[in-house]
């Protein structure tokens, strides 16, 4: 569930001021990197049994109850994107189908350093939804301090070794450079979450984060809705 707060050590006022400032979140990740490498959350111990009522044994019942609940809820979707075109159109199609089940749905993408058509496609999405007359679904494109801009976003970051950062998981890097690459990705994700917490938490009830470049099949919405039914009907059930 999406609630006011940040998870990256900033106050709400700092989030509102810095959500589109990559440098701020890069330095924040740098300060916390050592502790983050060794810190682990303590999981809870609640394990309630999943006993179904007679009605809940019906998949149709679970789907119908989920649709009834989601029609009163609002969803915020956040995703970082770079060279996401192979799976992006399918992801957008699936997200729009899911958004149709909610009273309100906001899609937020943070794009950087793409060498394909990712930024243009996401900018097209913001324009299409903005001109569709459908006020229930919106899209926002972030990157390099700009909002809903088609201009390329190039971070131009260098490692402490002096080597220029080039995106991609298969490039040859030293261990330090690999750690700093993770730091860079953490900064981008925290920047994206800061936008969600500072701009969307007040009027959205659920948060979905995903990788938009994965090669999805068409989502089986009935299965997704049944999962969301239990999320609502069993809120204390640990994952």
pLDDT tens-place string over residues 5-30: 444 456 656 666 777 777 777 777 77
123 within a domain of the structure (yes/no): yes
- Per-residue confidence (pLDDT) for residue 46, from 0 to 100: 46
Please give the model's pTM, rounded to 2 decimal places. Answer: 0.78
116 within a domain of the structure (yes/no): yes
Fill in the DSSP letter of residue 216.
P
Confidence of residue 33 (pLDDT cuts 50, 70, 90): low
23 within a domain of the structure (yes/no): yes
Collapse the DSSP code of 4 into the 3-class scheme (helix H, G, I; strand E, B; otherwise coil) and give the result. coil
237 within a domain of the structure (yes/no): no
Segment 109-125, tens digit of pLDDT: 999 999 999 999 999 99
On average, the pLDDT of the chain sits at 84
Total number of domains constituting the chain? 1
User: What domain range is 197 assigned to?
Assistant: 12-32+59-226
State the DSSP H helix or E strand holding residue 96, giving kind and residue range, or none if neither.
Answer: helix 85-99
Confidence of residue 236 (pLDDT cuts 50, 70, 90): low
3 within a domain of the structure (yes/no): no
46 within a domain of the structure (yes/no): no
34 or 61, greater pLDDT: 61
Nearest Cα to Cα of residue 182 among 26, 48, 52: 26
pLDDT, mean of residues 69-98:
95
- Per-residue confidence (pLDDT) for residue 13, from 0 to 100: 67
pLDDT, mean of residues 92-103:
96
- Per-residue confidence (pLDDT) for residue 32, from 0 to 100: 64
Q: What are 79's strand-pairing partners?
A: 109
232 within a domain of the structure (yes/no): no
For a pLDDT cut of 90, what percent of the chain falls above it?
Answer: 49
CA distance 220 to 196: 26
Nearest Cα to Cα of residue 138 among 162, 105, 89: 105
6 within a domain of the structure (yes/no): no
């Amino acid at each position: 569930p999406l609630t006011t707060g940040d998870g990256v050590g900033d106050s709400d006022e700092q989030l509102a001021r810095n959500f589109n400032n990559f440098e701020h979140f890069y330095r924040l990740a740098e300060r916390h990197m050592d502790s983050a490498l060794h810190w682990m959350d303590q999981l809870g111990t609640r394990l309630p049994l999943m006993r179904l009522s007679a009605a809940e044994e019906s998949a149709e019942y679970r789907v119908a109850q989920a649709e009834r609940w989601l029609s009163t809820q609002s969803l915020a979707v956040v995703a970082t994107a770079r060279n996401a075109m192979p799976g992006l159109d399918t992801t957008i199609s699936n997200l729009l189908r899911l958004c149709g089940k909610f009273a309100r749905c906001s899609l937020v993408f943070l794009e950087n350093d793409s060498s394909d058509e990712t930024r243009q496609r996401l900018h097209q999405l913001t324009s299409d939804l903005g001109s569709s007359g459908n006020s229930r679904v919106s899209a926002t494109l972030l990157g390099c301090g700009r909002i809903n801009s088609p201009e390329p976003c190039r971070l131009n970051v260098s490692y402490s070794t002096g080597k220029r950062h080039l995106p991609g998981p298969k490039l040859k890097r030293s261990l330090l450079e690999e750690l700093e690459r993770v730091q860079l990705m953490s900064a981008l994700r925290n920047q994206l979450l800061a936008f969600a917490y500072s701009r969307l938490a007040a009027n959205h009830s659920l948060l979905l984060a995903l990788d938009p470049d994965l090669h999805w099949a068409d989502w089986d919405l009935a299965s997704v809705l049944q999962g969301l039914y239990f999320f609502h009907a069993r809120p204390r059930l640990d994952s």
